[in-house]
Homo-oligomer: A and B are copies of this chain.
Amino acid sequence: MAVDLRAVAELSGVSVSTVSRALRGSPRVNSRTRAKVLRAAESLNYRPNAAARGLRTRQSQLVGVVIPNLVSVTFVNLFSHLQAGFRAHGYETVLSVTNGEPEQELAAFATLLGHQIDGVIAIGSYSVSTDFLRESRLPAVHLFNAPDQPAGDCVTINEFESTQDAIGHLISHGHRRIGCIDGSSEPTVAGYEYAVRKHDLPMDPQLLHLGKYDTETGTEGVDKLVALDDPPTAIFFGCYENWLSGIPRLLEHGLTIPDQMSVVCRDDAEMLRWWRPSISAVDVQVPAIAKLAVDRLVDAMATDEGALTEQRHGKYQVATTLIKRHSVADPPRR
C-alpha cells in the first residue's frame, strides 16, 4: 500500500541502496541514474518513512519544546521562533504544554523520550523533572530558568536588571511608593530592593505581591495594593499573565493610567502598544532568546556523540529593553 524505497527501486530498475543514496544526495551515484530515480520517486509520490530512518540512524530530527502555557504571548512568540529556528536546522518541533504542573512536565519528558526526540527545550522546569532530564542524558537547554543542577545550557533574561531598570524609571519620575506584582522570582525581588535602596527610599514589603505566573495573581495583587493604607502611586508587573488581568483590574478600581497610577510591565506585547494610554514595558527580546536557545541545543545535539560525561553547562543571559510609552507620569500631589 504505502510506497517505499523498494517500490521506487523497482520502477527505476535499480537497487534500494542506490535509490537511498540518490535520494539523499550522495555523490557516489551516477547523475543519470540519479535523475531516473528522482523521476520515479516523484511519480510515485515517494515520501521517506521518518520512523524507519530514525530507527536506523538513531536520530529522529525531532526536538521537544516543553512549555508551561500558551496564554502568555511571550511563550507563543517564543514557540513560533523556536519552531522556525529548528526547522532551519532540519529539525521538526514537538510541543508539550504542562500547565505549570510538575507531573505533567515529567510526563511530557517521558513521552517525548519515548518518541526518540533528539533534544529538548525546557521552559520553567521543576527540579524533579530536571533531575529526570539530566539522568536521561538527553541534550537539553533550559529557558527562562537556570536550575542548580541543570541538564544543559541555560538561557535566561536578566530579571534582576530589568526589574531595577523599570523601578528606577518610576523612581526617576518621582514615585516613592512602588508596587511590584510577579510570579515568585528572587531576582525580581532583589532588583526591586536594590533599586529602592540605591535611591534611599524606604523598603516596604507590603508593596511586594509575589504569587504565581497566572491571571489570578494579577487581580489579587492589584486588589491588595490598592487597599493599602498608603497605596503605591505606581506598579510594576513582572509577567504577562499578571498584567493581562491586573491592568483591567486597576481600571475597575476606577484608577486612571497614568494620572492616578503609573504602570510598567515586563513582557511586551502588541496589545500594550494599542491600549490607550499605551503602556511602557520591558521587552524580553524573544527572537534573540529563541535564536540563542536553538543554537545551543543544535550544538549540544551535534557534539553529543562525543558525550563529555561531566560537561560544564553554559549560562547565558539576554539583555532586556525598557520601552517608554505613555503609562508613566509623575505621581499625583497629595
The winner among A83, A95, A244 for most chain B CB atoms within 10 A is A95
User: 15 pairs across A/B with beta carbons < 8 Å?
Assistant: A47-B113, A51-B52, A51-B54, A76-B76, A80-B97, A92-B94, A92-B111, A215-B270, A244-B270, A244-B271, A244-B274, A245-B270, A245-B274, A248-B276, A251-B276
Known: A47-B114, A51-B51. 13 other contacts (CB 8 A): A47-B113, A49-B116, A50-B115, A51-B54, A51-B115, A70-B76, A70-B80, A71-B73, A71-B76, A92-B115, A93-B95, A248-B274, A252-B276
The contact of A50 among B114, B252, B275, B276, by CB within 8 Å, is B114
Produce 1/0 per residue, A108-136, CB < 8 A to B: 00110111100000000000000000000
Chain B: minimal CB distance from A271 (Å): 7
Q: Does A79 contact B (CB under 8 A)?
A: yes
CA–CA, A111 to B245, complex, Å? Answer: 38
- The interface residues of chain B lying within 8 Å CB-to-CB of A276 are 248, 251-252
The contact of A48 among B50, B80, B114, B245, by CB within 8 Å, is B114
- The interface residues of chain B lying within 8 Å CB-to-CB of A169 are none
- The interface residues of chain B lying within 8 Å CB-to-CB of A51 are 50-52, 54-55, 60, 115-116
Chain A positions 153-172 with a Cβ under 8 Å from a chain B Cβ: none
- Top-4 shortest CB links A-B: A248-B274, A51-B51, A251-B276, A50-B115
Is there contact, CB below 8 Å, between B97 and A94?
no
Q: Does A249 contact B (CB under 8 A)?
A: yes
CA–CA, A113 to B45, complex, Å? Answer: 12
- The interface residues of chain B lying within 8 Å CB-to-CB of A92 are 94, 111, 115
CA–CA, A55 to B55, complex, Å? Answer: 9
CA–CA, A54 to B114, complex, Å? Answer: 11
Chain A positions 243-265 with a Cβ under 8 Å from a chain B Cβ: 244-245, 248-249, 251-252
A246 to chain B: closest residue by CB: B274
The contact of A83 among B97, B110, B248, B270, by CB within 8 Å, is B97
Chain B: minimal CB distance from A250 (Å): 10
Chain B: minimal CB distance from A59 (Å): 10
The contact of A248 among B54, B80, B275, by CB within 8 Å, is B275
- The interface residues of chain B lying within 8 Å CB-to-CB of A49 are 55, 114, 116
- The interface residues of chain B lying within 8 Å CB-to-CB of A83 are 97
CA–CA, A216 to B124, complex, Å? Answer: 33
CA–CA, A48 to B111, complex, Å? Answer: 10
